[in-house]
Structure 1
């Protein structure tokens, strides 16, 4: 059997092929172009059937991995930290080069490949959902950054509108700053105009127009203000950016909803308490591929970071947060666990018990997430949609294992 070590980069890749004995059969570099890829995949086929030629790489997703999986090569991802810890076996000097790394990776696969998992091609529907969910996450972070920038501008030059409504990102707050971007533009804003503005934009808050005006006028005045035209241009630009990001998020969410409705496995988790369309998409996209490849719910819990790490040596032992985990899957799972504890009495009791034992909120949420993961695992692998009555009945049986 032969083993392939792949040191990837954005422009060039280094490849080494080893025999069972550890001898180098072939080594080369190629440019990250279609011609380079075609030549390399053809070159690899000369060393055997792709199904029998595993490739190890410090990467678990992306174009490089997809091309190798598409060519039927077993892909073995290794975490850079784990590979770094193994480097001293090839010398204590710490020498490093791209061709040398490809050799070390191939040798690591040859000696320790039985300890490493192999990737499986992700379901096409889950891959599409994953791309959309991650794009939405990026846009949400952009929205948060934009709101923070707008908040900083208002705090420095016009604090009044900052706390006028629930959130600066809300439609009515954006509309207010569009109509009144400066103190001068709001100088003649009276109770009647404020009431008309609230009616026009469907204000549903508890404050009266008079109270809103009082809140606006009570804010401190910036001692050294910008010219009104300059401040108007700055705030208008930030509001336009915020509107554009919000519109993009809305379009992505609409697309996500359509993909969730079309995916055959969505029905398995749609009945979970407190799960909405977006969180359901996150569970499918980030947790689904993990559930497909692992062999047990506990293994899934470790990959998702819902299970802690136990460290014991001699008389000392401790249980610690698991940092080496899929952070996106952990976020999707813990977001669901937080929502579920508010909707499900069983999950709420799990959370309350954890808090009574002195666990902090994030730890208690992970305890709930780990319990729910066993339920999700059962639904995913039996093909039975989640049903609260069935779940309750199985919990009541002393020997049941949900």
Structure 2
């Protein structure tokens, strides 16, 4: 008889509930997040009569220790996504009530009644990938907000300069670390601006950038109230943006080194559109391809499989709104890259979908879904992408 365990993971105290095949509770207890308490919990699991399957709502993060402990002891571990737990909990008596024991019981019921994806043991390479990818994502999100803030401030005091430059590039940011207002740029002149830009490593085209900045400064003579304070804040944000660019570049270099040790990286990167960052994000998101029994399962996890909509006499399909957003973005972005880089097969598929009447986004989603099949097959067969094969 199978015993289904649900664990509601937390930073300090996990809660575990076990039920048997008939739904009767056989275990209900708190588990502190420390080695001694988890060892005692494992002993209790060993004492249960039957095959134990454990569901957990958090993978990695603060649940990494208990996850690793259970996998090391040979227990079968499956993942119950938090959104599934929340929605399933509303179907039980009490509806909106929320507590750790209640969530753990809901997880146990999902393990008993649903076919959930397994959680497999990670090695050092996968953990390093996941940490580096997460750190890069945080830096990129902060950088987007920072650049938007610089644009808003600069547009208020020197709109011509904001419109003339792409502030995502290194050169304009280097300029803004010192020269912001029209008066500052005019006083500095061409030679001083170029000399300042030369202090930034690997920056080319400083003379052209300086001339464009002087042209913008020459068209504005008005001094905006609060200009000096705004310029000081822009200089600070621009310096932070340059530093963030360096950190992101170092992480991407580290990712390339980590991928060289991953057995699947070379296979994935052979698919057009899958560069270093997208390959790392894909591997960090899936963990182990063995978690997905088919390409359809992988597409469903990414939210790229169509969803049936049927009610009465009406029936149809619609695009899925759920799924792993990171995984969906990886496939969508790689499809976009393959099309823009003029990969013949991807471009031909995209053009065919456009001729069928699909708009740009629909055609890219269809291409992303097709690439799921290709990538899953490559990993199963351990073969690099071959554009000459008919299946491609």
TM-score after normalising by structure 2: 0.86
In structure 2, the partner of 1:275 is: 274
Q: Is the 8 A contact 1:286 1:332 kept in 2?
A: no
Q: Provide the rounded CA distance (Å) in 1 between the counterparts of 2:60 and 2:325.
A: 14
Query: What do residues 143-197 of structure 1 show as CA deviations (whole Å, max 9, x unaligned)?
Result: 11111111122122333432333x2132211221123143442232435555666
SS at match of 1:311: strand
Q: Is the 8 A contact 1:158 1:222 kept in 2?
A: no
Deviation at 1:71, TM superposition (A): 3.4
In structure 1, the partner of 2:46 is: 45
Q: Could you list the runs of 5+ residues in structure 2 that have no partner in the other structure?
A: none
Q: Provide the rounded CA distance (Å) in 1 between the counterparts of 2:295 and 2:4.
A: 31
Q: Is the 8 A contact 2:349 2:367 kept in 1?
A: yes
Q: Provide the rounded CA distance (Å) in 2 between the counterparts of 1:104 and 1:278.
A: 37
Q: Provide the rounded CA distance (Å) in 2 between the counterparts of 1:270 and 1:94.
A: 46
Query: What do residues 115-154 of structure 1 show as CA deviations (whole Å, max 9, x unaligned)?
Result: 3332222454233212212211111111111111111221
SS at match of 2:118: coil
In structure 1, the partner of 2:313 is: 315
Question: Does 2:104 match 1:102?
Answer: yes
Query: What do residues 341-366 of structure 1 show as CA deviations (whole Å, max 9, x unaligned)?
Result: 23312211211222233323222111
Once superposed, what is the RMSD of the aligned Cα atoms? 2.9
Q: Provide the rounded CA distance (Å) in 2 between the counterparts of 1:279 and 1:203.
A: 28
Deviation at 1:258, TM superposition (A): 0.5
Aligned counterparts, 1:287-302, within 5 A: 287=286, 289=288, 291-302=289-300
Query: Which of 42, 65, 71 does residue 69 from structure 1 map onto?
Result: 71
Q: Provide the rounded CA distance (Å) in 1 between the counterparts of 2:343 and 2:321.
A: 28
Q: Could you list the runs of 5+ residues in structure 1 that have no partner in the other structure?
A: 396-400
Closer, same or farther: CA 203–109 of 1 in aligned 2, 3 Å: closer
In structure 1, the partner of 2:157 is: 157
Closer, same or farther: CA 264–99 of 1 in aligned 2, 3 Å: closer
Q: Is the 8 A contact 1:164 1:216 kept in 2?
A: no
In structure 2, the partner of 1:243 is: 242
Closer, same or farther: CA 7–285 of 1 in aligned 2, 3 Å: closer
Query: What do residues 28-79 of structure 1 show as CA deviations (whole Å, max 9, x unaligned)?
Result: 1133334433332333233268xx3111233344342344333332122223
Closer, same or farther: CA 210–180 of 1 in aligned 2, 3 Å: closer
Q: Provide the rounded CA distance (Å) in 2 between the counterparts of 1:62 and 1:48.
A: 31
Closer, same or farther: CA 221–54 of 1 in aligned 2, 3 Å: farther
Q: Is the 8 A contact 1:15 1:99 kept in 2?
A: yes
In structure 2, the partner of 1:371 is: 370
Aligned counterparts, 1:170-181, within 5 A: 170-181=169-180
In structure 1, the partner of 2:29 is: 28
Closer, same or farther: CA 34–384 of 1 in aligned 2, 3 Å: same
In the alignment of these two chains, the number of paired residues is 385
Q: Provide the rounded CA distance (Å) in 2 between the counterparts of 1:86 and 1:283.
A: 28
SS at match of 1:234: helix
184-193 or 341-350, which deviates more: 184-193
Query: What do residues 234-270 of structure 1 show as CA deviations (whole Å, max 9, x unaligned)?
Result: 2232122112211211111111010112222222123
Query: Which of 79, 86, 107 does residue 81 from structure 2 map onto?
Result: 79
Query: What do residues 209-230 of structure 1 show as CA deviations (whole Å, max 9, x unaligned)?
Result: 655422333358453234x3x3
Query: What do residues 71-110 of structure 1 show as CA deviations (whole Å, max 9, x unaligned)?
Result: 3321222234434444466426654432233234324433
SS at match of 1:190: helix
SS at match of 2:186: coil
SS at match of 1:6: strand
Q: Is the 8 A contact 2:182 2:218 kept in 1?
A: no
In structure 1, the partner of 2:14 is: 13
84-93 or 146-155, which deviates more: 84-93
Q: Is the 8 A contact 1:350 1:368 kept in 2?
A: yes
Q: Is the 8 A contact 2:190 2:207 kept in 1?
A: no
